[in-house]
Amino acid sequence: MNAKRPTILIPGRINGRVRTRVEAEFDAISIDAADAALLDAEARAKVDGIASGTTIDAGFIDAFPNLSIIANFGVGYDAVDARHAATRGVMVTNTPDVLSDEVADTTVGLLLNTLREFPKAEAYLRAGRWAAEGAYPLTSLTLRGRTVGIFGLGRIGLAIARRLEAFGLPIHYHSRTKRSDVEYPWHDSLAGLAKAVDTLIVVVPGGPATEKAVDAGILDALGPNGVLISIGRGSTIDEEALIAALSERRIAAAGLDVFADEPNVPQALMDLPNACLLPHVASASVSTRNAMADLVVDNLAAWLDGRPAITPVPECAGLDRKPT
């Protein structure tokens, strides 16, 4: 590391381990939100990097004349204008791989909870109803005999597919391009995938290309025995259409870990008995979040020391070296 320690800006909330390491290894500046007006021109000129878990738009990027890297906490980075950053020669990194297994494990758990109602069964026991009323009612849904479609067969999607393949389930997928390293049937449209399966797992990132991609038409294609599981970004689901489909039993059930306006979950969704809801916890274990935090800071350290970024996002992969 150079004799002069780089200055890292932390806008808004960030994982505690990220903050601790940044404050120990760099000169750190913290502000309450990603609002450049919270800093004067002198402070903005000092900023070499940003460690972030919030929205970083083009205007915020442009406010820092010496900005070199934005290290995003999370594999999804749709909140960061990476295309604009690339035009400025600013590296953007994310935290892939280190959370793939945890998220895949959670997805399988959410699927089982949605089908077999395990959280409800535990609540039934704890309320004393087993002793008072007898056995918990048989579940109408099961994992047995299902065909799974994965919307987005990237790192996490593939980890989910491998787990469900071990359950003896056939796997189909839709992504922008067909993978050459798997034999799962590929569908060139999401509608085609939904028609071919009865269990749809949505893993794609957010952004304009996937905004409300799962709409009423996709849900109807999934059918009355269909189950939707969403663990990518809440913006990919048309929540009004989903609420209607669940209420009218046009699909059987849904399990969601992500929502369009977190942490605000529509009351109509919470009221549905055939919806299993989690508060965005797919990667929320201490060990996984620590690994994500370390990757954020390790990316900052590498790039600001003149070394390649460890995990550049695709928009910035061509930079992959500190500008001189």
Sequence-ordered strand ranges (E) for 158-221: 171-174, 199-202
CA distance 302 to 35: 26
**What would you measure as the largest C-alpha separation in the chain, in angstroms?**
73
CA distance 290 to 295: 9
Q: In this structure, are residues 181 and 211 in contact, taking their beta carbons and an 8 Å threshold?
A: no
Residue 233 is among the residues annotated as catalytic for this protein: yes
Residue 117 is among the residues annotated as catalytic for this protein: no
CA distance 130 to 303: 58
Residue 280 is among the residues annotated as catalytic for this protein: yes
Question: Which residue type, as a one-letter code, is found at position 96?
Answer: P
Catalytic residue (choose from 88, 116, 250, 280): 280
Tell me the CA distances in angstroms from 264 to 153, 234, 259, one per residue in order: 28, 11, 8
Helix (H, G, I), strand (E, B) or coil at 87: helix
Catalytic residue (choose from 5, 262, 307, 321): 262
Catalytic residue (choose from 233, 239, 289, 315): 233
Q: What positions carry a catalytic annotation?
A: 233, 262, 280
